[in-house]
Amino acid sequence: MQSPQVKVLMVCLGNICRSPTAHAVFVQRVEEAGLSKRIAVDSAGTGDWHIGHKPDTRARAAGAKRGYDLDSLRARQVCAEDFNEFDYILAMDENNLRDLQRLSPPDQRHKIRLFLEFTDQNVSAVPDPYYGGPEGFEQVLDLVESACDGLLAHIADTELRAR
């Protein structure tokens, strides 16, 4: 039996820049659509360097300027249970996609996709802004907002009708 909720996991390397930004934006989009009881969102990193830390200060500041709250989020690492728990496991780039595919049981790999598959923008990876300036965090938000809109439309059209 399928869960009544569609569960989405956003994944980047350290879970302090890209994936928590996507997490916060998607939560807000889901709330605005009145689907909070039907769609659950989380984020994680493939690495363990920042477990328990808040998102990067620059990510929080950029998000706050656009009305997104990242302050309550804390970094965690992808774990084995995630592959059974989540319906969508969305990698921010090809490296994280490969890491997730390597970690995943073979029967769960169909859940792993690139996050930007859900945008019409001509780019496949959300660039890591960690070593750059504030403009990188703005670019991440632009890409994430577009992909979140596409993801929500996809889930509403395919998943929620079937549940």
> pLDDT tens across 130-163, in order?
998 889 999 999 999 999 999 999 999 987 776 5
* CB < 8 Å & 24+ apart, contacts of 107-112: 108/83, 108/84, 111/83, 111/86, 111/87
Contacts of residue 155, Cβ cutoff 8 Å, sequence gap at least 6: 6, 8, 39, 88
C-beta of residue 42 within 8 angstroms of C-beta of residue 23: yes
Domain count within the chain = 1
CA angle 113, 114, 118 (to 5 degrees): 100
- The angle that helices 18-32 and 57-65 make with each other, rounded to 10 degrees, is 30
% pLDDT > 90, the chain: 91
- Mean pLDDT, residues 17-27: 98
What's the pTM? Answer: 0.95
Residue 14 has pLDDT above 90, yes or no: yes
Residue range of the domain that includes 157: 6-162
> Do the domain assignments include residue 149?
yes
Residues with catalytic function: 12, 18, 128
Q: What CATH number has the domain bearing residue 22?
A: 3.40.50.2300
- By C-alpha distance, which of 72, 117, 110, 65 is closest to 94? 117
> Do the domain assignments include residue 1?
no
Least confidently predicted of 3-7, 14-18, 135-139: 3-7
> Do the domain assignments include residue 118?
yes
pLDDT in tens, 65-105: 999 999 999 999 999 999 999 999 999 999 999 999 999 99
> Do the domain assignments include residue 83?
yes
| SS3 per-residue string spanning 29-72 | HHHHCCCCCCEEEEEEECCCCCCCCCCCHHHHHHHHHCCCCCCC
- What is the pLDDT at residue 160? 74
- What is the pLDDT at residue 163? 56
